Amino acid sequence: MKITILGSGTSTGVPMVGCHCQVCGSTDPRDKRTRASILVESCGQRILVDTSTDLRTQALREGIPHVDAVLLTHTHADHIHGIDDLRGFYFIHRRIIPCYGSPETIQSISDKFAYIFEGLTSEGYSPLLEPFPIEDPFELFGCRVVPVPIKHGSFNATGYRFDDAAYLTDCSEIPEQSLALLEGLELLIIDALRFSPHPNHFNIERALQVAQKLRPRRTLFTHLTHEVRHSDGCQLPAGVEFAYDGMTVEL
């Protein structure tokens, strides 16, 4: 299995529009962060987790030739508003892509972007995605996928475990029953927004506490704001790193 960090940034991206802070003006390419998303490659198939606002840029940068499944964590704009960029893949491959998410996420997508699932016959648009509401573990391209319910402030979101790797973006709390789904990880990719606290996200201190509790072999912090320089990673304990756009991990 190979995991690519397509985007490691928060909802504004980094640099942030109109900002001239040290991080937004950084020349370190690892401080240039598009909106959070990952690509999981298993058995030659590609699983996209979230259709971020920067999907087109990410797909071109990484040379993604096709997407074989889409998993959605929740429906905040920075995680779904690139959904229309999937049209390019349809034009080439003429395949409707299976899309997985919690029942409330699938319903919300259907409400916001009905044409994605239904198409627009009068306009000649085909459906792009086929919805599959999921709550229980399932097999996808030889990989066991476990939905992990998490809290994002007062909002429900879904993390995902792929065999021995887990992706928990936009997370402020992991319920006890979900912690049990995260035992024995090789890789944990987790929301660690910034150094200062935030009501709807883990900050770096809280994300470290989760990593210390779960004890994965390797931890990557993602969904980072312009409060965090990549070079600040030298302050992190062994086995913990800041993710960056284009970073790859093979398991």
List the pLDDT tens digit at each of the 251 positions of the chain.
Answer: 999 999 999 999 999 999 999 999 999 999 999 999 999 999 999 999 999 999 999 999 999 999 999 999 999 999 999 999 999 999 999 999 999 999 999 999 999 999 999 998 878 789 999 999 999 999 999 999 999 999 999 999 999 999 999 999 999 999 999 999 999 999 999 999 999 999 999 999 999 999 999 999 999 999 999 999 999 999 999 999 999 999 999 99
Per DSSP, the three-state class of 158 is: strand
> Which positions ≥6 away from 83 have C-beta within 8 Å?
51, 55, 109, 113, 116, 128, 129
- Report how far residue 132's alpha carbon sits from residue 70's, in angstroms, rounded to the nearest whole number: 10
Flag whether the pTM goes above 0.75. Answer: yes
Domain of residue 117: give its range.
Answer: 2-250
Q: Residue 207: which CATH number?
A: 3.60.15.10
Number of domains in the chain: 1
